Amino acid sequence: MAQVYFATARVGKWKYDDSMPGKLERLLKKADLGTYFEKKEWVAVKTHFGSDGAHRIVRPTFLRKIADGLKAVGARPFVTDTVRILGLDYLEVANYNGINHLSVGVPVILADGIFGHDNLMVRAGEILGEIAVAAAIYDVPAMVVCSHVKGHIQAGYAGAIKNLAMGAVSSTHRHCGWKCGRGAMHATGEGKLVWDAEKCTFCFQCQEICPLECINFADGEMRYDNEKCWRCGRCARVCPSDGLELPGDDTLFMRSLAEAAAAVLTTFQPKKVLYVNFLTEIQPECDCMPAAEVPIMQDLGILVTDDIVAVEQASIDMLLKAKPLPQSLAQDMGVKDGDDILMKLHNKHYHIQIEEAVRLGIGSREYELIMLE
Ligand code: SF4
Ligand code: SF4
């Protein structure tokens, strides 16, 4: 049974040890980083850099603590994510969200290069076939997966599985394009965008958010570059009037997240990946959206373990006990105390990703929760 270490976000005593950074430091000591990471070993600290306007990511303060913890056991960490908007622009997003070499104390790099083409094909499974895993993640022997727990429009819940699946896989592959990238999870079939002229209000939000400038409007019609499109789905997600749809299947999406995460894990030896889930600033949507909403539930704390399923199950078990926050989307949607907040918000059976991860044998839902004193 996995041991999951937990530190609450509440402060008992007004001293550093009881702060969130102080508790993270103590959690990492409890988890005993030296048993996972060797001297001089490269370790990827995988996080999400956020996006233009989405600032509720894992804060650089915490990344710094993790990097410092790794350096203390002699390892050589670097902080990383994969290209979600064109590479150098994405590094700039990281920078203004506070993540840079100076703040985290180690290099901040793109795991799949500045164009997102540095990746290797890895066998995934029955849904995805093969998937393009970012080269730096493929090659690095060890990793700490730092995940900001939140809601997600298509998966209902987003944590470590989604961070690994979407975040360690490139948007596109040099030869087989989006079909071997994360678009293969977002879209089904040819994944061609469907525009509904009747519903479109010509707000142009889809055009603004597209990272590749695929979309434009002329003569009252939407046009898009189907060849160039990554099938990231952002345009459809921001459409306020259901005027744009990326053909997809929620169940397949969640199962494919687990499948991609499992594929990424095949590039590591056992016990070389540690998971840190941050149940903080838990907002309704993904950090790749163009804005971050106010949290729908209070900060809960930080979980650390070496089992990807256990960290997700423990996170979900905590979210299920949380109360909806007033003046948030949860209140707007009439969520009551005792409700499953994420289910009420997104109406997605988000447990599917956990069940699929168990079926694929990458972890266990059974865990022992060890509270930090
Ligand atoms: S799915 Fe939409 S936002 Fe994403 S690359 Fe294609 S056109 Fe652009
Ligand atoms: S976001 Fe939707 S409504 Fe706005 S222009 Fe695009 S398709 Fe039309």
**Burial profile 59-94: b = 16 or more Cβ within 10 angstroms, e = fewer:** bbebbbbbbbbbeebebbbbbbbbbbbebeebbebb
Q: 373 pLDDT band (50/70/90 cuts)?
A: confident
Pair (124, 201) in one structural domain: no
Pair (223, 283) in one structural domain: no
The last residue of a domain, from among 229, 245, 261: 245
Q: Whose CA is nearest to atom 8 of ligand 1?
A: 210
Say what the pLDDT of residue 18 is.
96
The last residue of a domain, from among 227, 245, 263: 245
In ligand 2, the atom with minimum distance to the C-alpha of 201 is 3
Pair (25, 8) in one structural domain: yes
Q: Whose CA is nearest to atom 6 of ligand 1?
A: 229
Pair (269, 321) in one structural domain: yes
Closest of 81, 69, 84 to residue 26, by C-alpha: 69
Q: Is the pLDDT of residue 189 over 90?
A: no
Pair (164, 232) in one structural domain: no
Pair (147, 200) in one structural domain: no
Pair (53, 140) in one structural domain: yes
Q: Is the pLDDT of residue 342 over 90?
A: yes
Q: 290 pLDDT band (50/70/90 cuts)?
A: confident
In ligand 1, the atom with minimum distance to the C-alpha of 236 is 2
Pair (172, 254) in one structural domain: yes
Say what the pLDDT of residue 236 is.
93
Pair (228, 331) in one structural domain: no
Residue with structure tokens 């056991």?
Answer: 73
Task: Ligand 2 pocket test: pick from 206, 208, 222 the residue with the most ligand atoms within 8 Å of its Cβ.
Answer: 206
The last residue of a domain, from among 225, 245, 265: 245
Residue predicted with more confidence, 69 or 288: 69
Number of domains in the chain: 2
Pair (126, 15) in one structural domain: yes
- Percent of the chain scoring above 90 in pLDDT: 94
Residues with CB under 6 A from ligand 1: 209-210, 212, 214-215, 224, 229-235, 246
Q: How far apart (Å, rounded) are the C-alpha atoms in residues 265 and 268? A: 5
Q: Give pLDDT tens digits for 234-265.
A: 999 999 999 999 998 999 999 999 999 999 99
Pair (230, 358) in one structural domain: no
pTM for the model = 0.96
Pair (317, 169) in one structural domain: yes
CATH of residue 234: 3.30.70.20
- By the 8 A CB rule, do 320 and 134 touch? no
Q: Give pLDDT tens digits for 69-102.
A: 999 999 999 999 999 998 899 999 999 999 999 9
What does the DSSP 8-state code read for residue 221?
A: E
From ligand 1's centre to the CA of 214, what distance in Å?
6
Say what the pLDDT of residue 210 is.
94
What does the DSSP 8-state code read for residue 295?
A: P
Q: 288 pLDDT band (50/70/90 cuts)?
A: confident
Residues of the domain holding 102: 2-183+250-371
